[in-house]
């Protein structure tokens, strides 16, 4: 396993996930978040330093996806099909439970849960594709034929 490529792909995947999340939030959810904050359903200010924590979490997910891709490619084959499938499965595993819970148990509404679910899965697929694109196996040493 090429650890340097896993780390580079993981950082790229994490940044990709952050971009998908940020664009989705600003285009589709920011006004709804503001109104949910004014209604007392969401906090208007976070309880912790949200952005640094969120950045670390997304980078951690990206590193995990890149590592899983590096491991899975030996069984499933290298390429975008493996990366997309892995991103889809992990994205659904990560994002489905919390969004179903939020839809069932909060007054935030189904739109927020649906958008968060779709954006999370798309981010994982795109991030894994990017990590897979950057990943290359370490070259194996050629046998010494001079002996």
For the whole model, what pTM was predicted? 0.88
If you average pLDDT over every residue of the chain, what do you get? 92
Share of the chain above pLDDT 90, in %: 78
Angle between helices 110-134 and 3-24 (to 10 degrees): 150
Average pLDDT, integer, range 84-100: 96
Distance CA 31, CA 34 (A): 5
DSSP of 61-120: HHHHHHHHHHHHHHHH-SSHHHHHHHHHHHHHHHHHHHHHHHHHH-SS-HHHHHHHHHHH
The answer on pLDDT for 144 being more than 80 is no
Q: Which residues of 72-109 are buried (b: 16+ CB within 10 A; e: fewer)?
A: bbeeeebeeebbbebbebbbeebbeeebeebbeeeebe
Per residue in 18-69, pLDDT (tens digit) is: 999 999 999 999 999 999 999 988 888 888 899 999 999 999 999 999 999 9
- pLDDT beyond 60 at 122: yes
Predicted pLDDT of residue 136: 81
- The arithmetic mean of pLDDT across residues 99-125, rounded, is 93
pLDDT reported for residue 5: 93
pLDDT band at 139 (very low <50, low <70, confident <90, very high): low
Q: Which pLDDT band, with edges at 50, 70 and 90, does 142 fall under?
A: low
The pLDDT assigned to 140 comes to: 65
């Amino acid at each position: 396993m090429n650890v340097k490529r896993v780390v580079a792909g993981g950082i790229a995947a994490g940044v990709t996930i952050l971009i998908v999340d940020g664009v989705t939030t600003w285009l589709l959810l920011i006004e709804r978040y503001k109104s949910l904050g004014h209604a007392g359903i969401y906090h208007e200010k976070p309880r912790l330093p949200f952005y640094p924590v969120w950045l670390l979490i997304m980078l951690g997910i990206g590193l995990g996806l890149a590592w899983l891709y590096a491991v899975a490619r030996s069984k499933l084959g290298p390429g975008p099909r493996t990366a997309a499938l892995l991103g889809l499965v992990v994205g659904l595993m990560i994002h489905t439970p919390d969004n179903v819970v939020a839809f069932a148990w909060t007054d935030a509404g189904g739109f927020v849960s649906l958008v968060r679910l779709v954006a999370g899965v798309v981010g994982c697929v795109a991030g894994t594709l990017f990590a897979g694109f950057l990943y290359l196996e370490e070259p194996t040493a050629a046998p010494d034929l001079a002996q």
